[in-house]
Structure 1
């Protein structure tokens, strides 16, 4: 990867996206930052001048392959290359499956899965020609650990992680990093960013605590977005990178507990698992 990189960061107007853009810009690189409204990117443009390029892009509404190809083609035409794609744009959605409307479900998949997949697919030919490149998928601890009320949110992250892990094996010349943050002090829980499905009383005992957490938890999260951005920048630009970068002590602990539980369950049911193969020829 060249010393001076060109980054494309979706959802760069706030939260992780803004922090990652600043880390790349402070490192001397150029950033094409996207937001649904280019006006929300004015602060970065004023601070960094020509090295920050604002781009109005609604990821959820530009999730077709043709749209993504056109966006990436324009970035490459303007800057000569693209080195890092950060699929960061996202939002919170809270609701049991029965509470979630079809539009809410499909819209979240457009934003968290189909949009990032289309952009990822669009950069791959350029990365192959360059012989280098990196894709950062902003997933979540919810890409491995579920919680009542976050089922649809987690489903989008599980899907993106599964596809990205496959890409690691399909394209060994490209660096893929799945970032799994825990609770960080971003605006993800703000009322303008969170979609909360209409509540059903039948789920007050299971999903109710999650609704309360989202409604009141903003500003209390332990994670520092600037430190997360520095960690992401380091693995993108460093010699080595993990496939999954877990950020935050809460995420590290939660994922560790899940892996222990899965390992114990796998061992407990090993005899049943192994008993379902065809018998060797000649045995009865």
Structure 2
């Protein structure tokens, strides 16, 4: 007999939180969730973009905007309070999507670059999840399925040069995600890790301590809508982990088969 977290997750009437909702994956995932009948507490720093997001959905009244930085406790408190008002203390889905990156050699960066990337990409999801857990448990205890979805990266499986801070944050997220999944399985709370390759979004417009106009050399980029569709499908089906794009899968699986070969291929030759 399947456990509750293995059942299909139903977005109809669900109360959900999506961080980093003003652009890219978060923007498109919010639209998909609203189309499917969910209420979305959309969290981002840019108020005007959240207004655009609400207007772009099929039912703007189902978008509940929270303006603020995901690393700020007050932003988190406002989002949880909004969830409480919608479902009397319950939460069906938390999507930890907000993220930042950085490009450049580790030796050339200040310590602040690593700390900023880790705060947004790792510590913020940890803090949001900690506050969400009692609410997710309340839903699971009622016999319905609740889910935590962490948006990771293929670079949380295989690190590459000049993205050490970003890789470190996504490796940390990956390890914590796997432990969390094992801990929460008996509670009926699903934990899903989605690992995209490069996504065509505004992500590269807000890199930390990085020269402007930097481009990713990754292979196999997907548009945000496609990533959001794959993410929602993984949530619905209770997938533990999905790696997206052929390029992303090639990087991850080639490293699992022949790590020394990948080390040689990815090594920088000279400066």
The answer on 1:171 being equivalent to 2:178 is no
Aligned to 2:204: 189
Structure 1, unaligned runs of 5 or more: 199-210, 266-284
Contact 1:61 1:110 in 2 (8 A): no
Choose 161-170 or 255-264, whichever is displaced more: 255-264
Take 1:118 and 1:232, find their aligned partners in 2: how far apart are those partners?
A: 22
- Cα deviations across residues 112-158 of structure 1 (Å, max 9, x unaligned)? 11111000111111111221311111111110111111011100111
Seen in structure 2, the aligned counterparts of structure 1 residues 194 and 174 have a Cα distance that, compared at 3 Å, is same
Seen in structure 2, the aligned counterparts of structure 1 residues 129 and 216 have a Cα distance that, compared at 3 Å, is closer
Aligned to 1:61: 72
Aligned to 2:50: 41
SS at match of 1:77: helix
- Scaled by the length of structure 1, the TM-score of the pair is 0.78
Q: 1:153 aligns with which of 156, 166, 187?
A: 166
- Scaled by the length of structure 2, the TM-score of the pair is 0.82
SS at match of 2:192: strand
1:217, distance to aligned residue in structure 2 (A)? 5.0
1:73, distance to aligned residue in structure 2 (A)? 3.5
Take 1:186 and 1:221, find their aligned partners in 2: how far apart are those partners?
A: 14
Q: 2:243 aligns with which of 246, 264, 269?
A: 246
- Report the number of matched residues: 242
Aligned to 1:255: 252
The answer on 1:78 being equivalent to 2:85 is yes
Contact 2:158 2:255 in 1 (8 A): yes
Take 1:158 and 1:216, find their aligned partners in 2: how far apart are those partners?
A: 21
1:216, distance to aligned residue in structure 2 (A)? 4.1
1:1-284 matches, within 5 Å, as 3-47=12-56, 48-62=59-73, 67=74, 70-80=77-87, 81-131=90-140, 132-172=145-185, 173-190=188-205, 193-197=206-210, 215-216=214-215, 222-238=221-237, 240-241=238-239, 243-262=240-259
Take 2:260 and 2:159, find their aligned partners in 1: how far apart are those partners?
A: 17
1:43, distance to aligned residue in structure 2 (A)? 1.2
- Structure 1 ranges of 4+ moved more than 4 A: 262-265
Take 2:150 and 2:184, find their aligned partners in 1: how far apart are those partners?
A: 16
Contact 2:101 2:165 in 1 (8 A): no
Contact 2:66 2:75 in 1 (8 A): no
Seen in structure 2, the aligned counterparts of structure 1 residues 236 and 45 have a Cα distance that, compared at 3 Å, is same
SS at match of 1:195: coil
Contact 2:54 2:60 in 1 (8 A): yes
Contact 1:33 1:55 in 2 (8 A): yes
- Cα deviations across residues 71-109 of structure 1 (Å, max 9, x unaligned)? 453023221132111111112211222112111111111
SS at match of 2:227: helix
